[in-house]
A and B are shown apart, each in its own frame.
Chain A
Amino acid sequence: MLTKTPRPLRNGSNGKNGKNGKNGNKSPRVAELPKIDTLTDTRDILAHAAKEARQSDYFIVDVDAHVTETAFWPDVIDRMESDVYRQMARAFKGRGPAPGLLNSTPGMLYQDVFGRIPHQQRLGEAVPGGHTHAQVTLVQRAMDSMGIDYMVVFPTPMLVLGMHPQVETEVVVGHAFNKWLTEEILPHDPRIKAMLYLPFNHPEESLKAVETYADNPSVIGFSVTSTRFRAVNHDSYMPLYSAIQSTGKPLAFHSGFHWGDQSMQQCNRFISMHAISFVYYNIIHMTNWIINGLPERFPKLKVIWIESGLAWVPFLMQRLDSEYMMRSSEAPLLKRRPSEYMADMYYSSQPLERSNLDLTEATFKAMRADTQLLFASDWPHWDFDLPNSITSLPFLDEQAKRNILGLNAARLFNLEVPKHKMIGAKTKKAPAVCEPVTA
């Protein structure tokens, strides 16, 4: 049974009673609220979200949130299989912001807008010692504040590890992270799930990760960090996709940014690079995935596209459809238009573009959001979304909101829905795609 973590009563500091109602009415109780900084408790940062959460009964699955693995880097290093790499990683200790063996990317420290968004800079709040891991406590505080029933966690600086010039480093770090996550974090709370890191620049080692964790109930899928220069259609990946398909668990492409990418170096401001980068990598991977007929080769493989927002989806649907109809000979495996394959895939909602709600509504319609869209917060990153990013959309009916917030994910990942939140939940499985083409 899913239960929230015990939560102590929290009051604003310096609470006192007002006594000076001019009209003689009983004055409201006055409490002072703290300024928010890097030491502020997550529950205080998200106190407004908690108010909203207390007023709703939504079942919510957050399919994309993050741990800060570098805050516990010695524990990750300890799990590196190679003693040489362990020594190398430890040798970097105290020598700069990027912990040993990680490739720092230009702009990583720009994310908090130079001190304006403290929780992006650091979650330096006090956490109780003892049995529960500090990272688990941080995740639980966020979940409870936002009313989230399950949270799927991904790494943070490792999102750019696919750009590391040493393939073997991605392998060593990736495997060590997976061990740390499955040994230290996931066992503490059944509400915390993961789509484990695939060291994708090494197809065989990625397959090894799938074989190792396929039966772990807290591992509900596998992920490729999209920020890399690899053609996802390369034949070397076919055994990997086949193995993931056999597990019945989804494959996710989690996007990111890299200012070192030569294309992105044309952008002189972080905002420009960040806005484009997250979309750019997933557009390339999606295009290769579709045009090379991977949905036909692996018709039961469920694919999720994470952290690229949604506006790119109708753009690419139309673009690929248009070109495919003129050049179908270059995509002979396709039996349908590219947009139809894209509409069978899953997408995470964050960062949800909603400055023009007419466009947002059209996007939802094109991607069949009622069944294919999965809520994501991206907490604790600076452009995180709350559940109200979905509940406030005026064009969604109540059932669509419930599907997007959690029920689509429950079906996709086979997650238990608490009885009191079963409103609108269906036991029906996600729609199947076409049968494979045989050689």
Chain B
Amino acid sequence: MDEVAIAKLNDIPDGDYRVFALEALEVGIFRTGSKVLAYENVCPHAGGPVCQGKIFHKVEEVITPDRKSAGLRFGKARHIVCPWHGYEYDLATGCHPGDPSLRLTPVKVAVRDGRIYISVPE
């Protein structure tokens, strides 16, 4: 496992993300504050470039105490959406909201001295 400096933390605005190709490995780097998460840029559904998609907040449906629908709203959880078919994955867990077994592959990532390093399988 080799560690590669891939970007400066400040190159990615808070809440934003960038996608890099390191030869065969493609990685999406997602920043929240000083934290970063990294996932392989491969959708477990059909192999699409999931990290090159857009981020949407999770859509929730509000149910009243008498079990009626009070409509839709955006929740706090953020999803990355595969641009091929719309499969959504919770950025915090990498899981699909309706089937947690369908999950993005995490990539080991670290921030040191303002630089983002990812671990690349040999």
A: residues with CB less than 8 A from B are 12, 18-23, 25, 27-36, 45, 47-49, 52, 113, 115-119, 382-386, 388-389
Contacts and interface: CB of A to CB of B under 8 A. Distances in A.
Contact of B47 (A18, A19, A52, A383): A52
A368 B6 CA distance: 51
Given A30-B21, A32-B18, A34-B19, 20 more contacts: A12-B21, A18-B5, A18-B6, A20-B117, A22-B2, A22-B117, A25-B122, A28-B22, A29-B22, A32-B19, A35-B53, A48-B42, A52-B47, A117-B81, A117-B86, A118-B83, A119-B83, A382-B85, A382-B86, A384-B85
Residue among A12, A25, A36, A49 having the largest count of chain B Cβ atoms under 10 Å:
A36
A21 B23 contact: no
Interface residues of B, number: 32
13 contacts: A25-B122, A30-B4, A33-B26, A33-B41, A35-B52, A45-B49, A45-B83, A113-B86, A117-B83, A118-B83, A384-B84, A386-B47, A388-B46
A116 B52 CA distance: 11
Contacts of A23: 2-3
Given A48-B47, A117-B84, A382-B86, A35 B2 contact: no
A388 B47 contact: yes
Given A28-B25, A45-B83, A115-B54, A33 B5 contact: no
B54 A33 contact: no
A113 B26 CA distance: 25
Contacts of B22: 18, 28-30
B4 A20 contact: yes
Contacts of B56: 116
B18 A116 contact: no
A195 B25 CA distance: 41
B77 interface: no
B97 interface: no
Contact of B2 (A25, A36, A48, A52): A25
B85 A32 contact: no
Interface in B1-43: 2-6, 18-23, 25-26, 41-42
Contact of A28 (B18, B42, B120): B120
Nearest to A383: B85
Contacts of A18: 4-6, 22
Contacts of A385: 46
A116 B3 contact: no
B78 to A, nearest CB: 13
Contacts of A116: 53-54, 56, 81, 83, 86, 88
Nearest to B22: A28
A33 B20 contact: yes
Contact of A386 (B46, B53, B117): B46
Among all A-B residue pairs, the 6 with the closest Cβ atoms = A20-B5, A22-B3, A28-B22, A33-B19, A36-B83, A28-B23
A12 B21 CA distance: 8
A239 to B, nearest CB: 42
Contacts of A45: 49, 83-84
Given A28-B23, A45-B83, A33 B52 contact: yes
B33 to A, nearest CB: 21
Interface in B65-106: 81, 83-86, 88
